[in-house]
Amino acid sequence: MNNESDRAEPAAPRPELELSLLLGGVAGAAPRRVRLLVVDDQPVNVQALYQVFAADYQVLMATSGRQALDLCRSKPPDLVLLDVVMPDMDGHALCRELKADPQTRDIPVIFVTSHSDSASEEQGLAAGAVDFIAKPINPAIVRARVKTHVTLKLQSDFLRQLAFIDGLTGVANRRHFDARLRDEARRAARNGSALSLVLLDVDHFKHFNDRYGHQAGDDCLRRLALTLRQGLQRPGDVLARYGGEEFVVLLPETELDGALQLCEILRQRVAGLAIEHSASRLKEKVVTLSMGVACASGGGPRDGQELLALADRQLYAAKGAGRAQALGARLVPQ
């Protein structure tokens, strides 16, 4: 069995519920509280905004532009409440840096400042802010404006995520997988860490469709996707529909033994579904999976395609060896 040691690692809806409704059903996204970042070099101002929002949001705090920039990159907030006048990096400069970085450019920024003239407001909006609130703050007004912009942000995030979701199964699609494979392969090569990949194919699925019909086939794929997703062990593991009846799992920082142990967990979970497959050529007349596993240890190829090709060869070998099993191999550096 796999374990953690085997693998390295009032009437209006509350904001966290809104986030759950938007993202909770997409690719297994776990509900979380909306995260705000309050940036002001005066701690008393930071505390005032914290008191306004702490009951409904997760509130991060920064007292300098540089500290705020680091937080936006390491723990991205859903919205930033930003003072303009700060000593090391003023609010306009910070906002411009956030908008110039692809990692942070979609984070909405609201300026909260004592400079309420039209020229200052125009300058803030030109820097990329979505709104401008004058000090001293009115808590009810600040709450309302933040709620509006948070809702818009979550809706935008939701639509962006839909572009990476398989419409039938609700797991990640091939486009998302290709991007994650590229990124994780580069990270593994840079850090010298292991990376494993599993290709999974539903055994004799054409015969299943011929026997039960394509609607039953779609239902089968949806049940399999849910079961596979529930079987993953860590938030960083990626399950995607690769195409047709094939799925793929990407396992960062996972050695071959850990990947094979996970395959056994997934095999048992699928067997537990006991989905009838009377047209299967196997002895067990239920839906089964064949799996091919590839692992790169100590840093893999930078594009991940060699890893994918090796997993495909191992999947072919698993089918040739009788199906309903997993075979794996390590990628040998050229």
pLDDT digits (tens, 9 = 90+) for 127-165: 999 999 988 899 999 999 999 999 999 999 888 888 899
The span from the CA of 11 to the CA of 32, in Å, is: 20
CATH number of 174-330: 3.30.70.270
Residue with tokens 């995260």: 35
Arithmetic mean of pLDDT, 237-258: 96
pTM for this prediction: 0.66
What confidence tier does 17 reach under pLDDT thresholds 50, 70, 90?
very low
Identify the weakest region by mean pLDDT among 50-54, 214-218, 297-301.
297-301
The span from the CA of 305 to the CA of 182, in Å, is: 8
Which phi and psi angles does 82 have, rounded to 5°?
Answer: -125, 125
pLDDT value at residue 215:
97
pLDDT value at residue 162:
84
Whole-angstrom distance between the N-terminal and C-terminal Cα of the chain?
33
pLDDT value at residue 299:
64
pLDDT value at residue 230:
95
Contacts of 96 (CB under 8 A, 6+ apart): 127, 128
Domain boundaries, the chain: 33-162, 174-330
pLDDT value at residue 79:
97
Strand extents, DSSP E, the chain: 35-39, 58-62, 79-82, 109-113, 131-134, 195-202, 238-243, 246-252, 289-296, 326-330
In sequence order, the β-bridge partners of residue 61 are: 38
pLDDT digits (tens, 9 = 90+) for 89-123: 999 999 999 999 888 999 999 999 888 778 888 88
As annotated, the active-site residues are 245
Identify the weakest region by mean pLDDT among 18-32, 187-201, 221-235.
18-32
Higher pLDDT residue, 29 or 119? 119
Q: 92 near 52, Cβ under 8 Å?
A: no
Q: Is the pLDDT of residue 271 over 70?
A: yes
Q: Is the pLDDT of residue 29 over 70?
A: no
Matching CATH topology for 33-162 and 174-330? no
Kindly report the CATH class assigned to 33-162. alpha beta
- DSSP, residue by residue, 257-302: HHHHHHHHHHHHHHHHH--B-TT-SSSS-B--EEEEEEEE-SS--S
Q: Which of 164, 211, 200 is nearest to 323 (CA)?
A: 200
pLDDT value at residue 241:
97
The span from the CA of 263 to the CA of 290, in Å, is: 10
The span from the CA of 145 to the CA of 124, in Å, is: 16
Let me know if 316 is exposed, middle or buried by CB neighbors in 10 A (0-12, 13-18, 19+): middle
Q: Is the pLDDT of residue 53 over 70?
A: yes
Mean confidence (pLDDT) of the chain: 88
pLDDT value at residue 235:
84
pLDDT value at residue 28:
43
Sign of the Cα torsion 226, 164, 250, 26 reads: negative
Specify the amino acid at residue 212. Y
Residue with tokens 């840096």: 97
